[in-house]
Structure 1
Amino acid sequence: MHQIKRRSFLAATGAVLISPRLTAQPAEASQPGSLGASVTIEREPLHALPRTQYGHFLEHLGRCIKGGVWAEGESEDMFLGGIRRELLAEMRAVKPALIRYPGGCFADGYHWRDGIGPRSQRPLRKNLAWSRLGQKLGPEEDNHFGTDEFLRLCEELGAEPQLTANVGSGTAAEAAAWVEYTNGPKDSKWGSERVKNGHPEPYQVKYWFIGNEILGWHELGWQKPVQYVETLKRYAQAMRRVDPGIKLLASGTFGPNPNHAEIHQTLLQGAGDHFDYLSVHLYATEWVAPRNLWRYQILNRQRRPSRGLYYEIMAALSVQQQYLEDCISDLRQFSPAGKPIKLSFDEWNLWYRGYSDLYQSNFNLRDGLWVASALNLHHRYAQELELANISQMVNCLGLIVSTNQGTFPTASALVFRIYTENVGDELLPSQVDGPALPHPTGLPVLDVSATRQGDTLALFLVNRHLDAEVSSRCTCQGLQVGTVAKRVELHHPDAFKYNTYADPRALRISERSETLKVESDGAASRFSVQLPAHSLTCLVLEAKNL
């Protein structure tokens, strides 16, 4: 395996350049004002919205597990002997539908047997994937947080677990044995080991990744697509002999790739009968630091006060949109006849600073609003985009910050709370007419997702303008809406505000009842709502068919 240097590794992991424009001086601030926009919502649903779009990710990287999720010895009152109670509460608050583990790149150097049995007897191992970037990102692994700890955490949180089998340095037999450990009967070889370790009943792990980013030269044991096709078949056959009901995920591209169609065609036509989901990754960011350190330094200097950077971040969504459309097009074109393969977008997020963010990061209100727009985007592609995992859950690119100094949610975690608490199970068609952001992408200022469950309508409205509030006129075709709405909002006067150890609730969700002036003509209902600048507003109201 060739050595990978820090800069070249980060360049290979899917960070993408949104725009070539980045000036040394921040753009002049505009005067606050009010903008108008109209939203039209149709009654007949487009498609179902799977809860599995609200997934998360944990990896043995930086401070995600060691010192984050797992803080063994810090106090006596810890869940499973190593998880802070306050962290458990924050994880529960985002209502994770899925959690992926143990990686990520770490997975292709991880042998699951190291992480079972009495903790005192588990071996100390080198972090093969991340120690190449230094001990801070890849400290030695004591394996005290392993399979049973992870799966019991998922049980506690009500989350569906996803496990990534080791392709880079493992075998199909090792992966099949792991399936037997988690899903096998009590009297099977590895099922009996699970019983000894305190869990008599099978965990019934449904989702299994066959490697991670295995087509990339940065990955341990990386393979070319034609090689990986044979690996997929071998692993799938071995794992499904143990449990025919599992769902398997194949590793596709990880970021925009001019050869995406050729790569995905090779996988889908060569092994599509053997897997259920195509796994793809994208980290959207406005810079390419490994290639341009001068540009990176400019960005860091203006990161907080820059109005120009604010819109660059919002515009990053256009790259994610194009990437998802390309991947979905490949699925439609190359999936086996009679077996449509679904998309799993299981690593996505903003990624700013490269190395330091992999250890521990924080996300401000601007970043949270970008996440809200990303969730709205995922709703639109939900027919094919069935699984999605934001990367990651704790500390390392984490939605939640948790160390021995304290635990608090970032703005992105608060956004997830608003969506998972209120989202419906169907997406309704919606159209926005209004001004565009002051950016070449021309993205609309107002971003909307309309969801419904029974007689409850939930509207997610993201005002992406930095300075101006939006007066939105909403028309609900074929629906009679109620006059009293629950209004849930994430807003702060400072769009660049962070929660911190010193002020862990600087950003918080507000909720109140709002009376709407509803006009109805027998064919539609209409009302207006005011949306603060740089804010997320969720309106939940009764909606019955006319």
Structure 2
Amino acid sequence: MAATHSRLGAVLALSTILLGSAAHAAAEPGTTRPVIARPVVARIDATRASAAVTPYAYGMFIEPIGGLMNRALWAELLDDRKFYFPVVAEGKDPPQPLSVEGKPALVNRKWRPIGDEAAVTMDRAQPYVGAQSVRVAVDAAATHGFGQGGLGVAQGREYVGHIVANGTPGTVLTVALVWGPGAGDRQTVTLPPLTAEWQSLDFAFKPGADTADARFEVTGTGTGFFRVGTVTLMPADNVDGWRADTIAVLKSLHSGFWRLPGGNFLSNWDWHQALGPRDRRPPVYDYAWSAMQPNDLGMDEYMALTRLLGVDPYVTVNAGLGDAHSAAEEVEYLNGPATSEWGAKRAANGHPEPYGVRYWNIGNEPYGWWQIGRTSLDYFMIKHREFAAAMRAVDPTITLIGSGAMPDQMHPRDAKENASLESIQAKFGTENDWTGGLLAKAWGDFDGLSEHWYDTVEKRPDAPPADELMEFARAPANQVRMKAEEWAIYQRRFPAMAQKPIFLSIDEYAYIGAGNKPTLKLALAYSMVMQEMLRHSDFIRMSAFTFGISTLDATPAGATLNATGQVFKLYGERFGAGVIPVAVTGDAPPPDPKFAVGYDHPQVKSGSPTYPLDIVAGLSPDRRSLRVAVVNATFQPQPLSLAVQGAKADGAGRVWRLSGPDLDAQNKVGAAPQVTIIEAPAPSLRGPLTVPALSTSIYEFPIRMGGSARVAGQ
């Protein structure tokens, strides 16, 4: 993920809008009555088919940016559980280095002394793991120890953990979970007496109240000292260390694949150090995001995640500070037989069967000034070819994806520009064309190319609400359209692409910006992104959304799909793998934008020629039904006429509609969802349609191929 981009998302709700003459109309802000528009005409040619949607059309991306994985996906409640940082009083923390782009460090929750802070020191002579462990002097006169606050816990839920400690024989440790200010708002567990040897001691808690600010404490009594090497605390229902509730919700999306483990983080991460028992893996520093990583998440954990989610793993290898030899070893660890060197190490770690990872990405954004290990295009082409040869020598069946960047993404660090097809022409074939560089200098050493984009929300406070909504919703899909326009240029520049088809993987993308919450409004924009990618299914074969957890609203008490998650659910279930996109034409092309924008917005126009509706259509895998997806990002119901060539209507249809009560609708844990997907009857393909305001609808009509069907009222 580019260092200049943000993360996380959450929430959204409700949809009651029915179809046909009873369509619900949303009044435009500042008005009292909706306006019924003139009919939109869409011509669908069922004989002009594109490549079928792949199982990887709606994938996800994740990386451990600071604590991003912890608490949302990984079940660990404690930060710095291996004591990378010293345990010191508030205000005495050593400064952390800035990130690679000069931004402040991501702040972990810190351990703080309990009692006399002078009693708590760091032992660097005999650490249990990493460079240091905590040493606490104890005596009979006072309580000494350390603790960490800011933990989120749920009432009545069981939490389990263990602490690895040693000390003066006979010293007694107690651990406590505190969830409030009262004397009864805590649970204390006294552990067996310590010995001079490191030992792992288990404990469990069940808090008496919900709180986002619980505190975990470790204290000792006796004479002498105790040391703590590591400690962990998780919900008892965790599954192999992963949160059971968030995993269950994410599994419902059937995402096809997850790209992992990064991300900028990857470019200075050594996967070898994250193998074996988690307590014994040394914590590491992530210089990309300026954050400590406990290194609990290694390739075995990531493979467990994809297994639990029911998706395929798509692994990116470190081509920043990493080398081809390390990447080849990683392929062997994940895919090699147990008789191979690294396959044997995998088996020794409890996984005798190969994981069989098919998709591999060489490097993350190697073109970016923010990327650790960045080099020139020419030098990286040497590196890419070496990686490809070494990885394929281990497993020739893998699918390799090169890390490209088209000219619209390439500009100087502080440049402010909005790329157009005219403005980028001079960049093709230069250092500012990494996709072209791979095509020209590494042909044969990849099967597909990756592309990343992030679009930033523009503020238009003076724009009329209807115009502001449409401009907001259309903007991110323009990023996809620009990739399609540039792909066509590459096809002309490199005729070999016609002989050996390769594919594009848009494996990081998001619509970001301060205050851009996962509302119904954002869901309409992401719906248009999905539609634009579906228009180019002939070469856009994979995509991965930033981040997988951005489809959730998650709290310590539970998780639910937010509005963005509902978009992925709708398209994954109703326009998913095997659906065959077909041509949609019309007489109303999308207009030019009405308002000036900032920068990093491609100057192209996405959408179908059915403005103001955005429409894609496709045949079911058995060609017995027609799917029509329609986004109405307006405040009015829109009458729609469909003229279908090459198919005949064969009965009444159904519609699945995503909507909510207003643009700000969200889904929150513990509250009734506001953005929902409602299934309802639809007229036959011969009947008129009215598409409700502020909605994304996917219609399904039974058909027989051959002939034509025309909607009444055209």
TM-score by length of 2: 0.64
Q: Relative to 1, partners in 2 of residues 1:282 and 1:30: Cα closer, same or farther, differing over 3 Å?
A: farther
CA contact (8 A) 1:482 1:543 kept: yes
Q: Identity of counterpart residues, as a percentage?
A: 28
- The answer to whether structure 1 residue 117 and structure 2 residue 285 are counterparts is no
Aligned to 2:629: 460
Distance 1:260 1:57 in 2: 28
How far apart are residue 336 of structure 1 and its match? 4.3
Q: Relative to 1, partners in 2 of residues 1:145 and 1:9: Cα closer, same or farther, differing over 3 Å?
A: closer
CA contact (8 A) 1:39 1:475 kept: yes
Aligned to 2:613: 446
Q: 1:391 aligns with which of 534, 546, 556?
A: 546
Aligned to 1:533: 693
Q: 2:453 aligns with which of 257, 275, 282?
A: 282
Q: Relative to 1, partners in 2 of residues 1:478 and 1:431: Cα closer, same or farther, differing over 3 Å?
A: same
CA contact (8 A) 2:61 2:545 kept: yes
Aligned to 1:68: 72
Query: Which 10-residue stretch deviates more, 337-346 or 48-57?
Result: 337-346
- The answer to whether structure 1 residue 98 and structure 2 residue 257 are counterparts is yes
CA contact (8 A) 1:284 1:320 kept: no
1:341-352 equivalent positions in 2, closer than 5 A: 341-352=502-513
How far apart are residue 341 of structure 1 and its match? 2.7
CA contact (8 A) 1:450 1:458 kept: yes
Aligned to 1:197: 349
Distance 2:463 2:518 in 1: 11
Q: Which has the higher helix share?
A: 1
Query: Which 10-residue stretch deviates more, 90-99 or 501-510?
Result: 501-510
- The answer to whether structure 1 residue 512 and structure 2 residue 680 are counterparts is yes
How far apart are residue 372 of structure 1 and its match? 1.2
Aligned to 1:3: none
AA at the equivalent of 2:660: H
Q: Relative to 1, partners in 2 of residues 1:270 and 1:323: Cα closer, same or farther, differing over 3 Å?
A: same
Q: Which has the higher strand share?
A: 2
Number of matched pairs: 489
AA at the equivalent of 2:631: V
Larger Rg: 2
Deviations 1:322-379 (A, max 9, x none): 23321443255237464333211111120112xxx8xxx8411111111111111111
Q: Relative to 1, partners in 2 of residues 1:59 and 1:304: Cα closer, same or farther, differing over 3 Å?
A: farther
- The answer to whether structure 1 residue 48 and structure 2 residue 200 are counterparts is no
1:91-490 equivalent positions in 2, closer than 5 A: 91-131=250-290, 138=291, 140-253=292-405, 256-257=409-410, 258=424, 259-262=427-430, 263=433, 264-287=435-458, 309-316=468-475, 317-334=477-494, 336=496, 338-353=499-514, 362-394=517-549, 398-423=550-575, 424-434=578-588, 439-440=593-594, 444-452=611-619, 453-454=621-622, 455-465=624-634, 467-490=635-658
AA at the equivalent of 2:616: S
Aligned to 1:291: none
Kindly report the root-mean-square deviation, in angstroms, between the aligned alpha carbons of the 2 structures: 2.7
How far apart are residue 447 of structure 1 and its match? 0.9
Distance 2:32 2:429 in 1: 43
Structure 1: unaligned runs, 5 residues or longer: 1-7, 14-25, 132-137, 288-297, 519-525
What secondary structure is seen at the aligned counterpart in 1 of 2:518?
coil
CA contact (8 A) 2:333 2:346 kept: yes
Distance 1:174 1:435 in 2: 50
Distance 1:235 1:370 in 2: 37
Structure 2: unaligned runs, 5 residues or longer: 8-27, 77-232, 411-423, 595-604, 707-714
Q: Relative to 1, partners in 2 of residues 1:476 and 1:231: Cα closer, same or farther, differing over 3 Å?
A: same
How far apart are residue 421 of structure 1 and its match? 0.8
Deviations 1:247-295 (A, max 9, x none): 11111117533325532332211112111111111111234xxxxxxxx
Query: Which 10-residue stretch deviates more, 407-416 or 43-52?
Result: 43-52
How far apart are residue 242 of structure 1 and its match? 0.5
How far apart are residue 442 of structure 1 and its match? 9.1
Distance 1:480 1:187 in 2: 58
Q: Relative to 1, partners in 2 of residues 1:327 and 1:286: Cα closer, same or farther, differing over 3 Å?
A: farther
AA at the equivalent of 1:482: D
Distance 1:125 1:188 in 2: 28
Query: Which 10-residue stretch deviates more, 193-202 or 430-439?
Result: 430-439
Distance 2:31 2:285 in 1: 50
Deviations 1:391-416 (A, max 9, x none): 1111xxx1223242531212111011
AA at the equivalent of 2:46: R
What secondary structure is seen at the aligned counterpart in 2 of 1:448?
strand
Query: Which 10-residue stretch deviates more, 371-380 or 474-483?
Result: 474-483
Distance 2:439 2:590 in 1: 38
Q: Relative to 1, partners in 2 of residues 1:535 and 1:432: Cα closer, same or farther, differing over 3 Å?
A: farther
Distance 2:266 2:487 in 1: 24
CA contact (8 A) 1:268 1:336 kept: no
Aligned to 1:33: 35
How far apart are residue 501 of structure 1 and its match? 3.6
What secondary structure is seen at the aligned counterpart in 2 of 1:95?
coil
What secondary structure is seen at the aligned counterpart in 2 of 1:78?
coil
Query: Which 10-residue stretch deviates more, 187-196 or 261-270?
Result: 261-270
What secondary structure is seen at the aligned counterpart in 2 of 1:250?
strand
What secondary structure is seen at the aligned counterpart in 1 of 2:4?
helix
Q: Relative to 1, partners in 2 of residues 1:304 and 1:323: Cα closer, same or farther, differing over 3 Å?
A: same
Aligned to 1:19: none
Distance 2:331 2:649 in 1: 49
AA at the equivalent of 1:474: L
Distance 2:638 2:288 in 1: 47
AA at the equivalent of 1:532: P
Distance 2:73 2:6 in 1: 27
Distance 1:304 1:124 in 2: 50
CA contact (8 A) 1:46 1:426 kept: yes
Distance 2:32 2:378 in 1: 53
Distance 1:142 1:11 in 2: 23
CA contact (8 A) 1:432 1:446 kept: no
How far apart are residue 168 of structure 1 and its match? 1.0
Deviations 1:303-339 (A, max 9, x none): 9996554233223122431233214432552374643
Distance 2:463 2:270 in 1: 42
How far apart are residue 150 of structure 1 and its match? 1.3
CA contact (8 A) 1:109 1:170 kept: yes
Distance 2:392 2:538 in 1: 26
AA at the equivalent of 1:64: L
How far apart are residue 468 of structure 1 and its match? 0.8
Q: Relative to 1, partners in 2 of residues 1:260 and 1:103: Cα closer, same or farther, differing over 3 Å?
A: farther
